[in-house]
Amino acid sequence: MNAIAALSLADLPAAAAAPARLEGAVKRYGAVTALDGIDLEVRRGELLALLGPNGAGKTTAISLLLGLAWPTRGRAEIFGRAPRDIAARRRTGAMLQGAQLGGHARVEEMIALYSGYYPDPLPLTETLRLAGLEDAAKRPVAKLSGGQQQRLRFALAICGDPELLFLDEPTAGMDVEARRILWAAVRGLKQQGRSIVLTTHYLEEADALADRIVVIHHGRVIADGSPADIKRTVAQRRIRCVTSLNEGQIVNLPGVTRIERSGDRTDIVAAHPEAVLREMLRLDPELHDLEVTGARLEEAFLSLTQDSSAKEGA
Amino acid sequence: MNTAANAITTSRWTWRDTLGVYLREAEYQFRTVLRTPGFALPTLLFPTMFYVFFGLVFGKPGDDQIATFMLATYGTFGIMAPALFGFGVGVAMERERGILAMKRVAPMPPMAYLFAKAAMAMLFALVIVLLLFVLGAVFGGVALPRSEWWLLVIALVFGTLPFSALGLVVGVHVNGQASTAIVNLIYLPMSFLAGLWVPLQFLPRWLQGFAAALPAYHLSQLALGIIHADARGPVAAHLAYLVIFTAVCLALAVRGWRRIQDR
């Protein structure tokens, strides 16, 4: 009730708007289509993971939301405003991929500078602690190790105590310990009700942190669900063998989502490879050159897109 | 409940906060540049060294005319460097390293970035001009009315602006590695052709014609006019040239900036 009383009328529309939203966003770079019509809404207080292979369009999606690039078609909004709007950005923090922090500033000076851009920044010591940089506060930025640079990028993203936080591949290049610290800090921010968008190509990371996972592939959203939903889809195996069975016989086996033939080889993607194999070996004792591997993320989701298009067709 | 309340309280921001961002950005810029010996040392040493060699030692001892004349021309030469290199190399490097993208994503007003770099160039210009003044007055016998000292300081400190704008054009268009070479290719020939090293009348006639096209020439003529040395052309024309030159550079920089903004 207190919170509602604290709202002034002018604040209402902004308060009601989603922290971040893409609407039919298309982004082309010349002939390359990086985003092919994406709808995405980040809900207040959720940790959303954008999952997908390299080049899927995750970073482009974030760039549109940060105002680093403009959609060719469609819209990008932060708190109901244009991403370049400075008032909207004062509520946003971002950790970009690949910025090389150098120069002759010290860690604490750089954090202080970025903190000063925000109306209610975290105390310096708190930012240093969350990022695990207490021991490096006085070091020149140029002398930091790769992992420490990554932590500093995280520190600069959170120093303004933003309501909305973008983390683009935050743990790339981090060792296990650094990753653990960052995950803990991200969980802490989530518990305080921050909205967080994280991109990653590790399912493990998305699973460990996210409330919701959106899978992007070739610039499109191909799955959107809880980590449990997504894991079920991804936990598929690829069976590769030479068999005399035809597609009609295989497709009816339990849990088979995809069949591909090239030459005499047959590739099968299935949720329960044991059951499929047991049945196949019974039907075709001559089956040979058998290989079972984890389906790559892309393959797992290819079957998913085929499922959805099959449903639409039906 | 708490988080919803927090979400609303963050919107207060006054012009004082914005002013604070500008000043901190400038201070940070200045502090880090001072720690960059590759920038600070040559920027301060080259003009003073040149002035000592050519203005004080080379001229006949006691000839305060040369020392006075060259105070204006080497002053111009000196103040160009922090502006051209600060913007030309600084922006190109920070753009390439992704620092600019980080600053654009952080809620920094873009003008604060330009302000900080321009202020840094002006502060360096001030230090350079004061160094030359002391050398000229103590060793060159340069004596000027107080009003002329002041006017010369103002002209040379604000004279960094056209070169900052020119540096910005370079910084926006050129990559970090090439930027130092490109800036030197602009800086050194321009200084020579504008008559900053050797007075124009000692250059071959066909080379003298280039001067009128160069901002360094017009700024140095303004400076020479202030101290009643051998200046050419009306003050208004030089001023007008510098203003238009700055505006054209800014327009080019904005156009280049738009192009790289959408990455």
Q: For chain B, what are the domain ranges?
A: 26-261
- Mean pLDDT over B222-248 rounds to 92
- Mean pLDDT over A6-16 rounds to 50
Give the pLDDT confidence score for residue B191 in this predicted structure: 96
Q: pLDDT-based confidence at B182, cuts 50/70/90?
A: very high
pLDDT at residue B179 is higher than 60: yes
pLDDT at residue B203 is higher than 50: yes
Give the pLDDT confidence score for residue A5 in this predicted structure: 45
Residue in B closest to A94 by C-alpha? B105
Give the pLDDT confidence score for residue B150 in this predicted structure: 95
Give the pLDDT confidence score for residue A296 in this predicted structure: 62
**Which of A4-13, A286-295, B103-112, B185-194 has the highest average model confidence (pLDDT)?**
B185-194
What are the sequence ranges of the domains in chain A? 2-232, 237-294
pLDDT at residue B141 is higher than 90: no
Q: Is A73 left (phi over 0), alpha (psi -120 to 50) or beta?
A: beta
Give the pLDDT confidence score for residue A300 in this predicted structure: 62
Give the pLDDT confidence score for residue A297 in this predicted structure: 60
Instruction: For domain A2-232, give the CATH superfamily.
Output: P-loop containing nucleotide triphosphate hydrolases (3.40.50.300)
Partners of B7 on chain A (C-beta within 8 Å) are 15, 91, 163
pLDDT at residue B153 is higher than 60: yes
pLDDT at residue A234 is higher than 80: no
pLDDT at residue B48 is higher than 80: yes
Tell me the average pLDDT of chain B: 90
Give the pLDDT confidence score for residue A246 in this predicted structure: 86
Q: pLDDT-based confidence at B170, cuts 50/70/90?
A: very high
Give the pLDDT confidence score for residue B132 in this predicted structure: 95
Partners of B9 on chain A (C-beta within 8 Å) are 6, 120
CA terminus-to-terminus distance, chain B: 39
Give the pLDDT confidence score for residue B173 in this predicted structure: 95
Q: List pLDDT tens digits, range A82-138.
A: 999 999 999 999 999 878 887 789 999 999 999 999 999 999 999 999 999 999 999
pLDDT at residue B231 is higher than 80: no
Question: Which of A3, A91, A92 is nearest residue B4 as measured by Cβ atoms?
Answer: A3
Q: In this predicted structure, which of A103-112, B62-71, B169-178 has the lowest mean pLDDT?
A: B62-71
pLDDT at residue A310 is higher than 80: no
Residue B13's SS3 state is coil
Please, are residues A1 and A27 in contact by the beta-carbon 8 Å criterion? no
Residue A221's SS3 state is strand
Q: List pLDDT tens digits, range A146-186.
A: 888 999 999 999 999 999 999 999 988 788 888 888 999 99
Give the pLDDT confidence score for residue B60 in this predicted structure: 64
- Mean pLDDT over A231-252 rounds to 82
Q: Is B38 on the interface with A (CB under 8 A)?
A: no
Contact A192/B3, CB-based, under 8 Å? yes
Give the pLDDT confidence score for residue A74 in this predicted structure: 95
Q: pLDDT-based confidence at A306, cuts 50/70/90?
A: low
pLDDT at residue B80 is higher than 50: yes
Q: Is B236 on the interface with A (CB under 8 A)?
A: no
Give the pLDDT confidence score for residue B1 in this predicted structure: 40
What would the two tokens of residue B263 be?
């990455």
> Phi first, then psi: what are they for A16, rounded to 5°?
-80, -25
pLDDT at residue B62 is higher than 70: no
CA distance A38 to A41: 10
Residue A124's SS3 state is helix
Contact A104/B24, CB-based, under 8 Å? no
> Phi first, then psi: what are they for A142, rounded to 5°?
-65, -20
Provide the CA B17 distance to its chain's centre, in angstroms: 28
For the sheet containing A32-42, what is the strand order? A32-42, A20-29, A73-78
Residue A10 CB neighbour total at 10 angstroms: 9
pLDDT at residue B21 is higher than 70: yes
What would the two tokens of residue A179 be?
């990753």
Q: pLDDT-based confidence at B55, cuts 50/70/90?
A: confident
Question: How close A269 gets to chain B, by Cα (Å)?
Answer: 38
| A44 contact partners, CB below 8 Å, separation of at least 6 | A18, A19, A193, A195
Q: Is B101 on the interface with A (CB under 8 A)?
A: yes
CA distance A297 to A294: 9
What would the two tokens of residue B251 be?
């327009």
- Mean pLDDT over A14-36 rounds to 88
Contact B97/A7, CB-based, under 8 Å? no
- Residues comprising chain B, all counted: 263
Q: Is B1 on the interface with A (CB under 8 A)?
A: yes
What would the two tokens of residue A98 be?
């690949």
Q: Is B6 on the interface with A (CB under 8 A)?
A: yes
Tell me the average pLDDT of chain A: 85
Q: pLDDT-based confidence at A2, cuts 50/70/90?
A: very low
Contact A103/B32, CB-based, under 8 Å? yes
pLDDT at residue A3 is higher than 80: no
Higher model confidence: residue A103 or residue A281? A281
Contact A100/B99, CB-based, under 8 Å? yes
Contact B3/A193, CB-based, under 8 Å? yes
Residue in A closest to B24 by C-alpha? A113
Give the pLDDT confidence score for residue A295 in this predicted structure: 64
| Domain spanning A237-294, CATH class | alpha beta
pLDDT at residue B227 is higher than 50: yes
Give the pLDDT confidence score for residue A140 in this predicted structure: 94
What would the two tokens of residue A115 be?
């903190």
Question: How close A53 gets to chain B, by Cα (Å)?
Answer: 20
> Phi first, then psi: what are they for B107, rounded to 5°?
-80, 60
